[in-house]
Structure 1
């Protein structure tokens, strides 16, 4: 332990401070405070911090900071740089650097020249390789062409290749007729027909035979509410049909279509191009249900 460290430690203990207490007062880490007391200045961050820490330590324990710094200077004097050594070292370093730079500048053209030669050799080799690759297929083609042989046709082959004599036109027509398949007559599609089946109160049933497809046109001749559904529950229309309005219902593959008409005189129905005649006149029953059964009685 140095004399400086002993003085500082003694003053700390007289104050009754521990290193932890002094750390709180000075905000200096405890390990640096312990190093000052033991004279281990080498672990400090630098000479500036050593002086600052000693000054703070001395002031915290009521010692003369200048006196403590003087003791530190006596125990650990700062190394001095003489003028001779400073004056000689700088020129020596400059001359060494200049020599190194000069050697690098002398070698640079040689390096560039060497790189240029390597690149030139690579380009020449690449061009020759491509030229050799282009010429090889041509040689193979020439060899292939030289091995082609031409076969001569002999008399026997010429007889086989000669066209056949013209056949009799009548025989050719008979052969063509025999080869042609007989045309089969397609069965005629049955004609669709609409007929009244029965009437039950508001319901009038019609049979649309000969087809399972219906194209029904509704022409408004006055204002009437109308809705259209089929046996699956699908609703095609539900609206008030005004005078002059037209609605078309397309259905296929269903069992029946039901038309709920609120005012029969205001709706004209056409089924597959044929007008539907109300079995019950509109003057007798204004509101009716028209049920058209598709594919019935086929």
Structure 2
């Protein structure tokens, strides 16, 4: 790569102005000191930007020097399979048994005693009415008013008692997914992010106008590469990927949403590239 740069009569200062990559990183790439670069994924991105700046095909370069260049699959530590990670579910939250159910037998017993007492009282009153002259009207009203308040007792018992199960479940749901997207840096028209604190990497893209769109993972596999028009909508689940790169030709017409959160493009230029490294949470 140094020979190609020198053939084009480009200095490291010229290349730094063109690519926005620091001169010490450019020198490290030429000397093969990739450990100086900030991470495996950023190393490949810097090499790709360098190659494009001097007119080389980055994909051909990665294929030809695959044993020498940083490889995210080879350099990253082994992690358990996603299916194993998903099996680690949070322990079920024990539900509090409602106090209402524990009171039902007592309520039923009280109601039965009251009904029996009312029946005896009513039967006794019927016998008294058959043997005695009819009471005056105001006496009847007084007797009716002395009837025990059965309905009030039942209403008090039927009111459900508040328990903290709903609040606990809501709190657990909020803690289950603490998705965090952090901006690392921007180099040229390319911005680098890290997504962590979640097992989800869901993407939704809508368009207010026409824009070229290219989406590929860290291994160069392409998911989409074409123009999208106004009203188009795309959805993706990248939960199984390590890195995703978005290339938007006209970002002003693009609405990007990641895990239900609207993404704000960090640069003012229409043509923007966004690299997102995904570090899912371990549970």
Larger proportion of helix: 1
Asked if TM exceeds 0.5, the reply is: no
The TM-score with structure 2 as length reference comes to: 0.36
Larger Rg: 1
The TM-score with structure 1 as length reference comes to: 0.35
Higher relative contact order (CA 8 A, sep 6+): 2
